[in-house]
């Protein structure tokens, strides 16, 4: 699903109005009607106290229209206009008049007003600012937002939590939304660590913006869910054999860190690679052979570290770096290995740390190779960033300059290739556990070996990895989720992804 910038949303808005020959207040009416339907479906007329805080722009206008619908259906409402500017929007004013025509008189909150009491049992509708927020809040507006946050009432934000800008981190108070009803498209800020913290849950309301515009407009980011990954899936064919799905090699490990290779190799095999070989220092031989009878093991001459990488065949895919250490000898072996590679490789963990330490090695990394850093590893590679937006821009530049795919791992891992980012939607905090990144490396390598293109292997692999975590969490909970359990659930993740949407229904009938 595409993620649009504020400018693009305004364009979609305009294009809809022109094509459908409707007025802008009709679009506002449509948006607010969707809000009303959402609330009405859940509350069914319950006499809870609903306090609507409306700004003076179109986000406020949405709130005002919603208030009218709620009142018409007998809800218990209080409407507050947060009077932060004289520049009221046309459609806000029009709907304010309509509200007054129905004898609903909002109270106006100004700089010197005292704030209304909000009980924890109330529902707050936050329609103060939408995507038009363009400068820091006046102090009294920030105080009001603080007052709403302190109320512990359920807060439903219209389009985006008020105070949260679309393209940079907030500098003052932001509404902490329990639920955001966002129009038509998700917003990038929902998914970044610095800004996503203000949102508990979010949902898209389809307000029928111009489909042609939405389809053709180029975007910088996409949110990746099942409809985006399913087309990437490469089905198995009946007459295939293990050679069809490639021979993958996982290179890594050092004394005390052989487990990383075990996890990655197991994930690589489980995701469907035809054959998997692990290349480790000698000390890893017995444990790997015992733990994973399906994989083959090659060893370095050194007992504890990788010092020379020799692979006596041409693998279909290679993942390198997990648990590998960063000794000088390993760095040399890694450099020599990179120089020999012609096809994309997957580089993780200490492979990334070595690249950061010896940046001259970057030029030996084959085109379209995959780098899978967590934020610390990314910082070592690209330097410090000012904020999450800057981080993404810097990563895009790095990706373009070095022609590589970068998977920025995190709660919403973002795969960057050149000027485009793919935001993952699966996964959960149970995956913040030792080795879960090693599992991802193995999965992406295993997908590459089966013939997935590098970018597809990342987008598909990251989603499948998160889905395995989401399935596992039902059985284990967050705390007990371990990396090896992720591997055990890769098969279920495939099944879940490929399950026909209405199968449950048809089984019942």
Ligand X SMILES: NC(=O)C1=CN([C@@H]2O[C@H](COP(=O)(O)OP(=O)(O)OC[C@H]3O[C@@H](n4cnc5c(N)ncnc54)[C@H](O)[C@@H]3O)[C@@H](O)[C@H]2O)[C@@H](O)CC1
Sorted by sequence, the CB contacts under 8 Å of residue 164 that are 6+ apart come out as 133, 170, 174, 175, 189, 195, 198
Distance CA 205, CA 35 (A): 8
d(CA 398, CA 406): 9
Site for ligand X, residues 207 to 266, rule: CB under 6 A: 209
Which residues is 107 bridged to in the sheet?
80
Burial of 149 (0-12, 13-18, 19+ CB in 10 A): buried
Judge whether 437 is annotated as a binding position.
yes
By residue count, the chain amounts to: 509
Which of the stretches 102-110, 129-137, 271-279, 467-475 binds ligand X when contact is defined by CB under 6 A?
129-137
**List 162, 184, 426, 436, residue binding K ion (CB under 5 A):** 162
Left (φ > 0), alpha (ψ -120 to 50) or beta: where does 403 sit? left
Is 135 annotated to bind ligand? yes
Restricting to residues 458-487, which ones interact with ligand ADP according to CB under 6 A? 465
Q: Which of residues 16-45 bind ligand X (CB under 6 A)?
A: 27-28, 31
Using CB under 5 A as the binding rule, whether residue 157 contacts K ion is answered as yes
DSSP string computed for 212-223: HHHHH---SEEE
Q: How far apart are alpha carbons 249 and 340 in whole angstroms?
A: 15
Beta strands in 325-403 (DSSP E): 346-347, 369-371
**Interior angle at CA 401, CA 398 and CA 405, nearest 5:** 60
In angstroms, the CA 195 to CA 444 distance is 28
Bin 224: left if φ > 0, else alpha if -120 < ψ < 50, else beta.
beta
13 binds, among ligand ADP, K ion, ligand X, none (CB under 5 to 8 A by kind): ligand X
For the purposes of burial, counting CB atoms within 10 Å of the CB of 403, is it exposed (0-12), middle (13-18) or buried (19 or more)? middle
157 binds, among ligand ADP, K ion, ligand X, none (CB under 5 to 8 A by kind): K ion
How many residues of this chain interact with ligand ADP, rule: CB under 6 A? 18
Q: Residue 335 annotated as binding?
A: no
137 binds, among K ion, ligand ADP, ligand X, none (CB under 5 to 8 A by kind): ligand X
To the question of whether residue 374 is assigned a binding role by annotation, the answer is yes
Show the site string, 183-202: x = touches ligand X by CB under 6 A, - = not: xx------------------
State the minimum distance, in angstroms, from the CB of residue 59 to ligand ADP.
30
- Scan residues 374-433 and list those touching ligand ADP (CB under 6 A): 374, 409-411, 413, 427-429, 431-432
Residue 411 binds: one of K ion, ligand X, ligand ADP, none (C-beta under 5 to 8 A by kind): ligand ADP
Q: Which residues are annotated as a binding site for K(+)?
A: 59, 126, 162
Q: Which residues are annotated as a binding site for (6S)-NADPHX?
A: 58-62, 130-136, 159, 260, 323, 374, 438
Interacting residues with ligand ADP (CB under 6 A): 349, 374, 409-411, 413, 427-429, 431-432, 434-438, 440, 465
Q: Which residues are annotated as a binding site for AMP?
A: 409-413, 437
């Amino acid at each position: 699903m595409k993620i649009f910038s504020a400018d693009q949303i305004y364009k979609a808005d305009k294009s809809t109005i022109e094509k459908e020959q409707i007025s802008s207040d009709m679009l506002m009416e449509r948006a607010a009607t969707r809000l009303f339907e959402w609330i009405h479906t859940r509350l069914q007329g319950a006499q809870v106290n609903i306090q609507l805080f409306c700004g003076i722009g179109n986000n406020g206008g949405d709130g005002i229209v919603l208030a009218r619908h709620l009142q018409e259906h007998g809800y218990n409402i209080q409407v507050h206009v947060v009077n932060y500017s004289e520049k009221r929007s046309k459609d806000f004013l029009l709907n304010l008049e309509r509200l007054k025509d129905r004898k609903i008189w909002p109270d106006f909150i100004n700089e010197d007003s005292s704030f209304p009491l909000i009980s924890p049992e109330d529902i707050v509708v936050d329609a103060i600012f939408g995507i038009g927020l363009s400068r820091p809040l006046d102090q009294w507006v920030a105080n009001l937002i603080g007052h709403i946050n302190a109320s512990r009432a359920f807060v439903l934000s219209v389009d985006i939590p008020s105070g949260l800008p679309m393209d940079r981190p907030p500098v003052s108070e932001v509404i902490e939304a329990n639920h955001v009803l966002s129009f038509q498209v998700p917003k990038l800020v929902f998914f970044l660590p610095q800004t996503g913290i203000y949102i508990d849950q979010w949902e898209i309301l389809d307000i029928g913006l111009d489909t042609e515009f939405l389809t053709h407009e180029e975007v910088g980011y996409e949110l990746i869910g099942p409809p985006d990954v399913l087309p990437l899936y490469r089905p198995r064919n009946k007459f295939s054999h293990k050679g069809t799905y490639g021979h993958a090699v996982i290179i890594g490990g050092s004394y005390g860190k052989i487990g990383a290779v075990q996890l990655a190799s197991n994930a690589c095999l489980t995701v469907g690679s035809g054959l998997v070989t692990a290349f480790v220092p000698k000390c890893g031989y017995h444990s790997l052979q015992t733990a994973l009878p399906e994989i083959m093991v090659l060893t370095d001459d050194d007992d504890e570290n990788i010092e020379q990488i020799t692979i006596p065949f041409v693998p279909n895919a290679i993942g390198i770096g997990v648990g590998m250490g960063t000794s000088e000898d390993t760095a040399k072996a890694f450099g020599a290995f990179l120089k020999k590679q012609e096809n994309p490789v997957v580089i993780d963990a200490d492979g990334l740390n070595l690249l950061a330490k010896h940046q001259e090695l970057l030029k030996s990394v084959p085109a379209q190779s995959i780098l899978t850093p967590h934020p610390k590893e990314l910082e070592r590679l690209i330097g410090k960033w000012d904020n999450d937006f800057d981080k993404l821009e810097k990563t895009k530049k790095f990706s373009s300059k070095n022609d590589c795919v970068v998977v920025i791992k995190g709660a919403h891992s973002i795969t960057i290739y050149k000027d485009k980012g793919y935001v993952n939607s699966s996964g959960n905090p149970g995956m913040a556990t030792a080795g879960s990144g090693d599992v991802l490396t193995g999965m992406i390598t295993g997908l590459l070996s089966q013939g997935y293109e590098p970018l597809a292997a990342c987008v598909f692999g990251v989603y499948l990895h998160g889905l395995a975590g989401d399935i596992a969490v039902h059985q284990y909970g967050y705390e007990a989720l371990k990396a090896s359990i992720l591997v055990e659930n890769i098969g279920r993740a495939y099944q879940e992804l490929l399950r026909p949407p209405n199968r449950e229904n048809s089984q019942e009938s």
